Each structure stands twice: as C-alpha cells, then as structure tokens.
Chain A
C-alpha cells in the first residue's frame, strides 16, 4: 500500500464520521457553524498525523499488553500541545470549542487509526493515512457545519447567505438538529453507495 493510496482512502472509503462511524461526539457538538467544524477538523488532523507517525515509529518497541495505554499517552501529549497552541493563538475559537478540545483525546478515530493502521504500517504510510482520514473528517465537519449554519442561522462562515426576509430555522443549531442532520446525511451517503453498487450499510 503506497502513501498516496493511504491518503486518498481517507476521502471516501474510510471517510469519518460517515464510513467509519467513529468520532460522532465532536461531529454533533461543535458543528453549529462551518468555522468551528474547520477548527476542530484541523486540530484532529494535526493530532492524527503525528500520533500515527509516532505510534508507527514505536510499534516495535511498545509491548503488546500495554499498547492501548501507550497510545493514549502519545495522543494525550499531542492533544495538550493543540490545546495550548489554540489558547495562545485562537483564543475565541478555543472558548467556543470548550471541553471538546481536551476531549479529542477520547475521539475514537485517533485511537482507532493507531490500533488498526499505524501499529502495523511504516511511518510514512501511517502519517499519510492520518492526513487522509484527518482531512476527510475536516471536510465532513465543514459539510455538516455549513448545512446547520446556513439553515439554522442563515449565514456561512459568518457571512449572511439569504436576504433580510429569511427566518432562521433555529432547530438546526440545537441538539436535535445535529442528530437529524447527521442521520440524514448518512442516509444520503448510503443511498449513493448503493447506487454505485458498493455493498455498505453500517450495522
């Protein structure tokens, strides 16, 4: 498997949170606006690339019995880095994302990729996989965020989309809208996969 293929798999075949049903919590929680989706997605991408690379570097050193704990230490260290950097350079964003920034530690995508991919592949390929899955996740979050922001607040990346007469559909930026939006998007993606003849339904 080449690095390029590992990279491109993240965009469709392993696209989180839709194809890999992992990392749902941030996908629901912080997607009230496209901008937050972008911020969270990039933070996750950063952690994913470096955790994949480090786990892959250490894969022959880490004993099998304590591998999960070791992965968590690697991931947690990277998350603390992101947290501090975000507080220093993007303070308003870090306020909005709140506890969901430290919660990147328990985002199952990262541990999932470390366990399923990085612990048995060379460094460069693992980093590419991290980048692909991370960017795929970022795109998904931006799509969900855009949908919810446009319908729920009438803006996109903070800029108004509709004229003055538009009455925002407030339901979309509240909790039920998040579940509904993600569920329906997942349904659309499944329908598309079925049309292309891919047999794929999450159970």
Chain B
C-alpha cells in the first residue's frame, strides 16, 4: 500500500515537471509535437532510471565510505554525462530502431535537470534500493505523462487565435500553469 502511494505521489502529486519544476527547458523546447514529446519522455524514463541506479550505488558504496559526500554534485553530473554518452554509443551499435527514435534526445538529456534532480532526490529522501527504483521510475513516468499531455494541448493551441505578444513560450507557460492547477487537484489524495 505504501508503495502504491509512493507511485501515485511521484506521478501525480509531486509531478517532477508541474510541482517540482524540474526539466522545464525540454518541456518548453520539445513539446511542440506529440511524437517528439513522447520520444523525449521515453528517453528521460530510460536515462533517469539508469542514472538513479548508478548514482545511488556511487553515493552509498563510494562517496559515503570515503567521506566525500561534498563531491556529490560533481560526481553525479559526470556520471550522468558519461552514462548518456555510453547509452548513445550502445544504442547506435545494438538497436538501430531505438537509436533512431531516442538518439536525438539523448545529448539534450545531459543538461536535463529532471535526471539530476531525481538522482539528488533519491539521496535526499534516504530511500533504500528497491524504493529508489520505484520512486525514480514513477517520477520519470510523471515527466513523460506531463510532457505528452502538454504536447497534445500545444498542438491544439496552434489553431487558436493567440494575441501576438503571447505567442510561443509565453502562452506555453500560461498553459503549463493551467495544467499545473489541474495536477494540484491530486494533492488531496496523498499526504
């Protein structure tokens, strides 16, 4: 039951994008079309889960025993950058189909704060390995859900008469605000 609450909490209540404000640059940048948004969402789930495992292991088996917790930021960001590079090379060699759908989003993910944010939150909440895995997966799934829903709204927005000054990012942010308001409605479900 606790785990179910954790999943619902991470996807809806504390949505990475709309409640914790992580990963907003790709949120505005690649949410103009539904299929690119879905690709970005999948790539983030993939990398965020791998990165969470890697950084969790690095934190508890390397940094803590050596008393180097203050290097957390540096180590995590380097691990994520290296991981993204590796994943890219691996996908290129092994799975052309997956590379073609995820490949172009991978370099962008290095500077996606959602990935580093989830990795840091895992440590901050002092989660054990299994809980961390579930938390990271559902947080990343929450990101994917939000960006796909948002892309759907933005495709409609193209057909509406928006005042010239509000076109582009301005109206996108206001729309995100309305979506965030909708997600705020979930707040009563979980503590």
Cα–Cα, bound, A118→B173 (Å): 30
B20→A187 contact, CB < 8 A: no
A183→B74 contact, CB < 8 A: no
How many residues from B make CB contacts under 8 Å with A?
48
The answer to whether the Cβ of B131 comes within 8 Å of any Cβ in the partner chain is no
The prevalent SS among residues of B at the interface is helix
Interface residues, chain A, CB within 8 Å of chain B? Answer: 21-25, 28-29, 68-69, 72-73, 76-77, 79-80, 83-84, 98-99, 102-103, 105-108, 111, 174-180, 182-184, 186-188, 190-191, 194, 201-203
Could you say which residues of chain A place their CB within 8 Å of the CB of B81? 68-69, 72
A69-B81, A184-B170 as given contacts; A111 in contact with B177, CB under 8 Å: no
A176→B164 contact, CB < 8 A: no
* Contact flags B115-138 to A (C-beta < 8 A → 1, else 0): 011001100100000000000000
Could you say which residues of chain B place their CB within 8 Å of the CB of A176? 177-178, 180-181, 184
A201→B177 contact, CB < 8 A: no
B123 to chain A minimum Cβ distance, whole angstroms, is: 9
A178→B170 contact, CB < 8 A: no
A25→B78 contact, CB < 8 A: no
Could you say which residues of chain B place their CB within 8 Å of the CB of A107? 113
B176 to chain A minimum Cβ distance, whole angstroms, is: 4
B165→A102 contact, CB < 8 A: no
Could you say which residues of chain B place their CB within 8 Å of the CB of A201? 164-165, 167-168
B73→A187 contact, CB < 8 A: no
